[in-house]
Amino acid sequence: MKESLRKNFTLILAFTLPAILIIGIAISVYLPSFFISTNYNFIYASCGDNIDNYSRNCNTYLSNKYTVENGKISTLEDRTANIDNSNQEYSQTGTSTLKKVTESPKYEVRLFFHDTAKNESREITLEEAKLFTLNNLITSPDGVSITGSYNSGSDILVFGGGRSSFGYFLTKGNSKLKLNIINTNDRYYYQNNFKFIGWVIPGRTNN
């Protein structure tokens, strides 16, 4: 056995070196995700399947539509109900000025509850969403943030060819965990098809 190992040392080394490199890369990529967790779930909105060519504006639309006021989700309709009942929407800029924007029915908006312990989302109704107390800071009370990252796909060497996508991650320091969120068309032009609304408080340990 020893003799065989000694005889084939260079051959073994030739296969071991790339294997060590691959294992090293895998550890450096996957290990940090094991150390990131948050006790807080969150709610987000996403535009549905019937998005048109201008769906890159979805994020703006969602930002206008949903805000968190006094710890509760508030829709544009709620805020403008007393002002105008026509097919027009208003968004507030500053503290007192209401700017009129035309609402076009081009986005079908869906709301989701993301369970960070299971890393899975489920769709919820607006009424359900209104029951949660929310914190709209992008960083959770235990210091974990949500960030988006563009991924141009795995290239064939320098020639490209990878399929691009836009991913969202839980991050804390160098630790990073990819979120399994539901926003089906989130690639290239559709990379803004995600609107973080708020962390659900209290967290799991406080339940």
**Among 3, 105, 157, 207, which residue sits at the site for another protein (rule: CB under 8 A)?**
157
Tokens describing residue 143: 């210091």
Contact 169, 119 (CB under 8 A): no
Tokens describing residue 22: 């691959």
Site string for another protein, 3-42 (x = CB under 8 A): -----x-xx-xxx-xx--xx--xx--xx------------
**Rg (the chain; Cα; Å):** 23
CA pseudo-torsion sign 27, 182, 79, 201 = negative
Contact 117, 13 (CB under 8 A): no
Min CB(184)–another protein separation in Å:
12
Q: Is 173 in the site for another protein (CB under 8 A)?
A: no
Q: Residue 14 or residue 117: which is nearer to another protein going by CB?
A: 14
Longest distance between any two alpha carbons in the chain, whole Å: 88
Contact residues toward another protein (CB under 8 A) are 8, 10-11, 13-15, 17-18, 21-22, 25-26, 29-30, 151-155, 157-158, 160, 162-163, 165, 187
